[in-house]
């Protein structure tokens, strides 16, 4: 509910009736690393953004809550432009 049932990065919000599809809760500070299992330590991300977030492809700058992508992220020019379009963007 915190992100209105959509990815806080790209706005993905597919539903089948009232069932949300492909949206996951992601820990900002991993639970395994001692991060609390609370809403303020979570992000609603689509499955793609959750996976690449967990792999370190991007992070959230804590002072401005802006998206910062790794300079090591690679892919086709289309993928680069689609993902890097969120560089410096604020979360929804």
- The pLDDT tens digits for 19-58 are 999 999 999 888 888 888 888 888 999 999 999 999 999 9
Is it the case that residue 2 has pLDDT exceeding 90?
no
Going by C-alpha positions, the residue among 24, 58, 27 that lies closest to residue 42 is 27
**For residue 52, what are its two tokens?**
């690449």
CB 15 within 8 A of CB 21: yes
Chain centroid, CA 82 distance in Å: 14
12-21: list long-range contacts, CB under 8 Å, 24+ apart: 12/46, 12/49
Distance CA 40, CA 72 (A): 28
User: What pairs with residue 66 in β-bridges?
Assistant: 61, 90
């Amino acid at each position: 509910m915190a992100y209105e049932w959509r990815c806080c990065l790209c706005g993905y919000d597919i539903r089948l009736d009232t069932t949300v599809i492909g949206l996951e809760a992601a820990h900002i500070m991993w639970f395994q690393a001692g991060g609390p299992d609370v809403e303020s330590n979570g992000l609603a991300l689509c499955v793609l953004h959750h996976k690449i977030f967990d792999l370190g492809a991007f992070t959230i700058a804590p002072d401005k809550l802006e998206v910062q992508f790794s300079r090591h992220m690679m892919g086709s020019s289309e993928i680069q432009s689609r993902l890097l379009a969120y560089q410096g963007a604020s979360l929804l």
